[in-house]
Structure 1
Amino acid sequence: MNTSELNRFIVVLIYGSLVLLSVLKLSNPLRVNRKANFWFGMFLFLWSSFWLDEILTLVNDTPIEIHSIISVQMIQFLTPVMFYFSVLFYTNPSFKFKISDLKYLILPVIFWINILLQRFGGFEDNSIFNYIFIGLILFQALFYTGLSYFTIRKHKKRIQQFSANTEGINLNWLEYITVIIFIINIIYVVYNLSYDSKALNFFINGVFLLVIYFVGYYSLKQKEIYPLEEKQREELIAIDEEPEMEEVKKKLISDEELARIKNQLEEVMYKQKPYLDSELNLIRLSELLSVSTHHLSYVINTGFKKNFFQYVNEYRVEYAKRLLKDSQSKLSILGIAYESGFNSKTSFNTTFKKFTGQTPSEYKNSSGL
């Protein structure tokens, strides 16, 4: 099989995988992250259309350029917008569109005007429009991947305010996709300006196929990020991702009440050890103390100068340190991780090193055990 035949095979795999994945996300059989999966499914479907020319050419055995149809071009340019909308709903399932959100259509409208002028403007030299076209693609890649990236980074800070195990809900996979797609777009546009784009097809298609399989694996295993119960979800989303900012903005409870809840919290953590529950979150802990999630978050942020993730995992790390020092313990490192409230060895190693500067194995060896 030569390079040309291999490239055609990869194109078939890309198109088929994207269409299948888009159908799975739109149908959403697990009924999780519904709005986010709808927009992500739309993004995947529009993304697949970029390979439709090559698929139809293979089927008909004659060159077909559906990509040149003006209506198809207009729809395709909405692809990064759909991706950004999916990021918005993954990070905030309660997000509602407002009139001000029409600003996200500014770039597509500029693109559509450029197409219409190129097709029907009657200009003798359309080369300037081709450069504008490429420039718009590059700028849009920068704009929407940048917005998506910083939205996910804010999400990562927010979830540390209510979850002590963030591994399954931190959207790392979506952040990696954002960075990879941005890099590929830069390479593709720069190459188009300087070289024959066909020479790059095999490389780009190979990378895209790997990205699509990565997307398929992680997007299908993504669990619900926020509670399904609307009141609880709204409370958690409303918690500021920057604890010190919330303290400055307003005083939620009196100093006396803060001290009372703080003492009650320390007593519960010492006697009941709720941090050993790997599923512990702000909601469960607030129920143990019979206080609201917002007040408990405020007490942890203001009274201990920590977010929920830091507060709970400090207890877990201290508990793990005792087990690691115990010469009588028969537990493995993974066993100690689970016993201490962590839900994976990866999160245990990462969190332990963050708090102690050593991995669990290094800490155990330094203890002479």
Structure 2
Amino acid sequence: MNTTELNNFIVILIYGSLVLLSLLELTNPLKGNKKANACFGMFLFLWSTFWLDEILSLVKGSKVDVHSLLFVQVIQFLTPIIFYFSVLFFTNPAFKFKVSDLKYAILPVIFLANILFHHFVDFYIDGVFQIVFLILILSQALFYTALSYITIRKHKKRIQLFSSNTEGINLNWLEHIIVVIFVINIIFLIYNIFYDANALNYLMNFIFLAVVYFVGCYCLRQKEIYPVEENQVQELISIEDISDDKEEVKRKLISDEELSKIKAALEDLMKIEKPYLDSELNLIKLSQILSVSTHQLSYVINTGFQKNFFQYVNEYRIEYAKILLKDSSSKLSILGIAYESGFNSKTSFNTTFKKITHQTPSEFKKISSGL
């Protein structure tokens, strides 16, 4: 198999994998993150169209150019926006489009106007069209890449307000691939416009294939970000909004006397009943045990302890893990201690333990045993 044949084989794998993944995401067999998976499925399908020329050329046996078609150009231009919408729905399933969101249509309208102007106005110079065309594509890709990345970073902070275990809902996989996908696309675009990129196409396609399989591995097993009832999702998101509003934080949700009362009850609960040993403990569960609202509990933890929910709960877990690690008679492994302490993976246990104690669990156990 020569280089050309190998490249053709890789192209078939990329296109077929993206179409299959898009169908799986659109049908959403796990029935989770419905709006997000629908948008992500649309993104994957639009992304597959970037290889449509090569696929049709292989089928027909001669060169086919569909990228020059107006419809194809427009839907490909929408790809970064659809990706951003999927990120938006992953991080906020309660998001609803408003009139103000028409701002997302500004660049696509300009892009469409540029293409139509080039097609129907004779004096529109090809060179000018190409420059505007390239600027719009690069602007669109860079803007929505940055916006998606910022949205995910904010999401990672916000989920710590209501979840004690963020692994699996922190969208790390999206954060890792987000820049890679669009940077590669930009390099690919520039080389195809300004250079003879035949040699580069093979390398790019191989990288794309690896990225596609990585995406497939994680997107199909992405668990529900907000595994609660719809009204509870709204409640959690409203808590996130308050936490982001500095003026709201200054406003007292409860009196100082009530804050002290709930704070004392919370400390007694954590020490006696140890609810933190439940790996699925979240703000809603804990507020139900205390018989207070999620807003009140979040306010008590943030104001009374100067911590978020994630920090507060995991500090108790680490203290409990220290006791187990110091117990020389214990037969539990590090992983066993992690599960016993309320963590749902060794990775999250090690990361949290080192962040709080500045030691790994193994190092702490070794020092504690005097070895």
Counterparts in 2 of 1:308 and 1:240: CA distance versus 1, 3 Å: same
TM-score, length of structure 2 as denominator length? 0.96
Q: How does 1:103-118 map to 2 (within 5 A)?
A: 103-118=103-118
Q: How does 1:111-260 map to 2 (within 5 A)?
A: 111-123=111-123, 125-192=125-192, 194-240=194-240, 242=243, 245=246, 248-260=249-261
The Cα offsets for residues 232-284 of structure 1, whole Å up to 9 and x where unpaired, read as 11111111374783763421000010000000000000000000111111111
Bigger shift: residues 77-86 or 192-201: 192-201
1:243 and 1:301 in contact (8 A); partners too: no
Distance in 1 between residues matched to 2:318 and 2:121, nearest whole Å: 67
Counterparts in 2 of 1:343 and 1:104: CA distance versus 1, 3 Å: same
The Cα offsets for residues 79-108 of structure 1, whole Å up to 9 and x where unpaired, read as 111101101100000000001111111111
1:272 aligns with 2:268: no
Counterparts in 2 of 1:228 and 1:328: CA distance versus 1, 3 Å: closer
Distance in 2 between residues matched to 1:65 and 1:244, nearest whole Å: 51
Q: Which amino acid aligns with 1:173?
A: W
Shift of 1:116: 1.2
The Cα offsets for residues 309-337 of structure 1, whole Å up to 9 and x where unpaired, read as 00000000111111111111111100110
Give the equivalent residue in structure 2 for 1:74. 74
Gaps of 5+ in 2: none
Distance in 2 between residues matched to 1:243 and 1:323, nearest whole Å: 37
Distance in 2 between residues matched to 1:193 and 1:72, nearest whole Å: 17
Gaps of 5+ in 1: none
1:90 and 1:225 in contact (8 A); partners too: yes
Shift of 1:125: 3.5
Structure 1 outlier segments of 4+, above 4 Å: 241-244
1:243 and 1:307 in contact (8 A); partners too: no
Q: Number of aligned pairs?
A: 369
Give the equivalent residue in structure 1 for 2:344. 343
Q: CA RMSD in A?
A: 1.5
1:357 aligns with 2:349: no
Q: Which amino acid aligns with 1:318?
A: E
1:138 and 1:189 in contact (8 A); partners too: no
Q: Which amino acid aligns with 2:234?
A: E
Bigger shift: residues 130-139 or 311-320: 130-139
Shift of 1:194: 4.5
Distance in 2 between residues matched to 1:246 and 1:307, nearest whole Å: 18
Bigger shift: residues 271-280 or 185-194: 185-194
1:244 and 1:302 in contact (8 A); partners too: no
Counterparts in 2 of 1:25 and 1:102: CA distance versus 1, 3 Å: same
Q: Which amino acid aligns with 2:81?
A: V
Give the equivalent residue in structure 2 for 1:96. 96
Give the equivalent residue in structure 2 for 1:305. 306
